[in-house]
Amino acid sequence: MIAPEFLAMLICPTTRQQLRAASVTELEAVNDAIAGGGVCNRGGRSVDGPLSAALATSDGAWLYPVLDGIPILLESEGISADTTEPN
């Protein structure tokens, strides 16, 4: 889990929106899409494994993976929360 004080300082590298912890519902939706195949991150690389944690933009449009407690806040690592649309 990311400390609330640290999370309050984080912003999306693209939109500059505040970030928040992704909800269980958001994680389930993106993981279902990943399991179905065809999900790519903003950099065009296929996302092959499920996310155990992620940060979401305040509007919920983008997710950034959190790996071993470290948020991966690179523009190319963003995953569209709307998994029905290409990134």
pLDDT of residue 87: 43
pLDDT of residue 1: 72
DSSP symbols for 13-82: TTT--BEEEPPHHHHHHHHHHHHHS--B-TTS-B--S--S-EEEETTS-EEEEEETTEE---GGG-EES-
pLDDT of residue 84: 45
Mean pLDDT of 20-43: 95
Q: Where are the domains of the chain?
A: 4-80
Q: Per-residue pLDDT tens for 33-80?
A: 999 998 999 999 999 999 999 999 999 999 999 999 999 999 999 999
